[in-house]
Amino acid sequence: MSEASDQQPERTVVPLLAPADGVPDVVDSPRMLDEAVAQLAGGTGPLAVDAERASGFRYSARAYLLQFRRAGSGTVLIDPIPVADRMGALAEVINPLEWVLHSADQDLPGLDELGLRPAALYDTELAGRLAGFERVGLAAIVERTLGLGLVKGHGAADWSSRPLPDTWLNYAALDVEVLLELHAAMAAELESQGKTDWAAQEFEHIRLAGPPKPKPDRWRRTSGIHALKSRRQLAAVQALWTARDEIASSRDIAPGRILPDKAIVDAAANDPRTVDALQALPVFGGPRQRRMSRTWLQALAEARSLPDSELPPLAQPFTGPPPIGKWQRRNPEAADRFAVARAAMTELSERVRVPVENLLTPDLVRRLVWDWTSGPADATEARVDAVLTAGGARPWQRQLTVPVLAAAMSTPTTATAAD
């Protein structure tokens, strides 16, 4: 494995201001889609893929612009909204291909909704992490590997708006302009470091993972909720959050644009019982909120009527180990083992130049350490391997981490030594 340094020599960066072949017309009709499908079918090799969403503006992960580029085909931009029911022909051409994306897990769910699913995957952002790059944004990796300067600035725009400005389309086309060249550069970098197989396993894991499962008690992520001290107030947050979420989902509008988190917390803290009292609070007196006053008051009334036995607990119930800060008091042996395991994982991370969180998910390491019980010394590695396998760790991860974690599990702890 090479000892590539993240400190790169000075090089001239060439600004990439516009696609070499110009910005293509946006495909937004069945006829144009048929032509685009034929265009992509005539290309060769892998397919560069990107999708623009409207995070912060829309509730869904829907893709509002699709960008494709393939050798011999050039770049294709597709507005999927007017042709969403005609994606079958596109899927027939591109689904059997290897797709090249940057941060694939961000775009795959929206593409999957359209029936677009890759047969193979290459994620240039994850490739950068595995290569030990400190900066893995698209612009940073393109600059480092290709010497090109990408103009950024529209990724957080409302891509559901129409018409899309020319500057946005230029930005969108540039996002796939050099992805195929970047793919080749990153493949060579990983090959030089002996990490090609590691990357292949990670890419396949992402391809098959599917959309993330919704986290339980999502309402507890309401910003500012920590200021509330009673279970009744938490019930009010939960009721308001749920009402907002239902409205946001039905209208496909980002929840924060229906009602800000701060307004939810203010209402839960003050518990207004009349329209006038509610509208006296910040935000609720605005024109849009005034029309929804009854909805919010109804949610507050439902929280107020809950019996004590149905109120949410002050702290979210743990389904796994407690916070690390509580380990020393509750399980000193686990705390000692974790300190050893964390140090060993940090050393391994530095040695192989892969971030600790990519070697293994932190939650999996915590669960292993917290749940560990003593057993036969000659079975330690097999037991560690079984836990990691059950937790979804890939073979390359287990090959690297099982020996160091088994050694950590075998290290005598302070509590054990005292006995």
Query: pLDDT value at position 2?
Result: 44
Residue pair 256/56 in contact (Cβ under 8 Å)? The answer is: yes
Give me the long-range contacts of 16-21 (CB less than 8 A, separation at least 24): 16/142, 16/148, 16/149, 16/150, 16/151, 16/174, 16/177, 16/178, 17/151, 18/170, 18/174, 19/75, 19/170, 19/173, 19/174, 19/177, 20/177, 21/74, 21/75
Given this model, what pLDDT does residue 354 score? 98
Say how far apart CA 164 and CA 148 lie, in whole Å.
25
Are 52 and 159 in contact by the 8 Å Cβ rule? The answer is: yes
Beta carbons of 152 and 172 less than 8 angstroms apart: no
Q: Quick one: how far is CA 395 from the chain centroid?
A: 23
| Amino acid at residue number 199 | A
Q: What is the pLDDT of residue 414?
A: 65
pLDDT digits (tens, 9 = 90+) for 316-327: 877 789 999 999
Torsion angle of C-alpha atoms 232, 237, 242, 245, degrees rounded to 10:
180
pLDDT of residue 382: 98
Name the one residue in this structure whose structure tokens are 């203010």.
266
pLDDT digits (tens, 9 = 90+) for 153-166: 788 899 999 999 99
Q: Give the residue, 8 or 225, on which the prediction is more confident.
A: 225
pLDDT in tens, 35-75: 999 999 999 999 999 999 999 999 998 999 999 999 999 99
Confidence (pLDDT) at 5? 45
Q: Which two tokens stand for residue 81?
A: 């909204």
| Percentage with pLDDT > 90 across the chain | 89
User: For 218-263, how does the pLDDT look when each residue is reduced to its tens digit (9 = 90+)?
Assistant: 999 999 999 999 999 999 999 999 999 999 999 999 999 999 999 9
Q: How far is CA 230 from the centre of its chain?
A: 32
Element (H, E) at 335: helix 332-352
The whole-angstrom separation of Cα 179 and Cα 330 is 50
Which residue do the tokens 């009010």 mark?
236
pTM passes above 0.85: yes
Q: Are 59 and 255 in contact (CB under 8 A)?
A: yes
Q: How far is residue 24's CA from residue 169's CA, in Å, rounded to a whole number?
A: 9
Average pLDDT over residues 338-352: 98
Q: How confident is the model at residue 18 (pLDDT cuts 50, 70, 90)?
A: very high
The confidence band for 152, taking pLDDT boundaries of 50, 70 and 90, is: confident
* Three-class SS state of 339: helix
3-state secondary structure of 165: coil
Instruction: Write the DSSP symbol of residue 12.
Output: P
pLDDT digits (tens, 9 = 90+) for 99-119: 999 999 999 999 999 999 999
Question: 């130049």: which residue's tokens?
Answer: 353
Domains of the chain: 14-209 (3.30.420.10), 218-310 (1.10.150.80), 324-418 (1.10.150.80)
